[in-house]
Amino acid sequence: MITRALGRRVADLARRQAEAAERHAAVNAAVDAGHAERVAFLMRVPDDLRMAVGIALCDPNGDDALHSWAAQPFARWATVPAGFQFPRALVEWLLSRPHSWFPGHACERCGLKVPLLIFDSTDPTPRPSIVVFPMCPACGGATSHTAAARGLA
């Protein structure tokens, strides 16, 4: 009787350990995939700006728009070319953040998302346009909300 009960307990323990190992493996796979995506993103940043971007993305009080852009820097329909590097002008602008912004436009040709400015309606010095990059800093294509929203429906 004691031997049977002990056998059931050992079997139950072995089953729980196997389930825990499966959960652990799944968590590790998710962490590894997320790490690989972050590394791939940073490798697209110009070498001399990579550290500054990495630091900005690690800042818990950092720019939410930068995090949104880093999570999806291209429109959903876009295919990222092999060896693509983010344009220096765009990365420098994103690091300097002269005004609040959001990734509201994308290039109609390559799909790179670019910032639009956010202004308060009471701003004493509003800019004539909220568009920061009317032409894509990567390929020269026109940027628009339509390109950013294509494929969302």
pLDDT of residue 133: 94
Assess contact for 86 and 44: CB atoms under 8 A: yes
Q: Which residue has the higher pLDDT, 112 or 11?
A: 112
Query: Tell me: the pLDDT tens digits for 65-84?
Result: 888 899 899 999 999 888 99
Return the sign of the alpha-carbon dihedral for residues 76, 79, 38, 107.
negative
Each residue's pLDDT tens digit, 83-100: 999 999 999 999 997 778
115 neighbors 129 (Cβ within 8 angstroms): no
Question: How many C-beta neighbours within 10 Å does residue 40 have?
Answer: 10
Q: Given a cut of 80, is residue 120 above it in pLDDT?
A: no
With respect to residue 117, please indicate whether it lies within any of the assigned structural domains.
Answer: yes
Side chain identity at 80, as an amino acid letter?
V
- Residue 85 belongs to domain spanning: 63-149
Q: Is residue 30 part of a domain?
A: no
Query: Could you please report the per-residue DSSP string of 48-80?
Result: HHHHHHHHHHH-TTS-HHHHHHHH--B-TT--P
User: Domain for residue 53, yes or no?
Assistant: no
Query: Distance between CA atoms of 19 and 6, rounded to whole angstroms?
Result: 20
pLDDT of residue 45: 95
Mean pLDDT rounded to a whole number for the chain: 84
Mean local confidence (pLDDT), 18-27: 68
Which one, of 102, 137, 135, lies nearest residue 117 by Cα? 102
127-146 pLDDT, tens per residue? 778 899 999 999 999 999 88
Q: Kindly state whether residue 88 falls inside one of the protein's structural domains.
A: yes
Pairing between β-strand 143-144 and β-strand 101-107 as defined by DSSP bridges? antiparallel
- Report yes or no on 35 lying in a domain: no
Strand, helix or coil for residue 96: helix
Q: Residue 126: what pLDDT?
A: 72
74 falls within a domain: yes
**What is the model's pLDDT at position 25?**
62
The tokens describing 148, both together, are 């950013």
The predicted model scores a pTM of 0.73
Specify if 13 maps to a domain. Answer: no
pLDDT given for residue 32 in this prediction: 56
Residue 152 is predicted with a pLDDT of 56
Residue pair 151/75 in contact by the 8 Å Cβ criterion: yes
Q: How many domains, in total, are found in the chain?
A: 1
